Amino acid sequence: ILSTASVQSLVGIAGYAAYQAAKGGVMAFTRALALEVVGDNIRVVAVLPGAIDTPAVRISQDIDVSQFEATIPMKRLGRPEEIANAALFLVSDEASYITGTGLLVDGGYAVP
C-alpha cells in the first residue's frame, strides 16, 4: 500500500496548518497500518514529495518560484517523474524490507 504524504508532514510552514495536519495523519496511518497488516505480508509505505514543478506551482499567486527554489538545498523544484520513480521503487521488490515509513523526495529541503 502506497500513500502520498508530503515533506510538510515533517516541516512546518506558516499558513498551511490544515494541510500539514492532514499529511501528518497520512504518516501516522502509514505507521499504524503497517503494523496491522505486516503478518499478511503487506507493506505500507508513503512517498513524501517536496516542491514539485507542476502547473499549479507555476501559476500560484502565493509562490515566487525563484525565491522558493533558493530555500531548497538542490536549488530547484523536483520533477514529477522523480516522484513517480520513488513510488515505483517503494512498491517494487527492491524495497521488500521497507514498511511503516516514508521516503522524502524533497531536494534536501527537510535537512536544514
19 carries an active-site annotation:
yes
DSSP labels for the chain? Answer: -EEE--GGGTS--TT-HHHHHHHHHHHHHHHHHHHHHGGGT---EEEEE--B--HHHHH-TT--HHHHHHTSTTSSPBPHHHHHHHHHHHTSGGGTT--SEEEEESTTTT--
Question: What type of residue sits at position 100?
Answer: G
CA distance 40 to 89: 21
Catalytic residue positions? 19
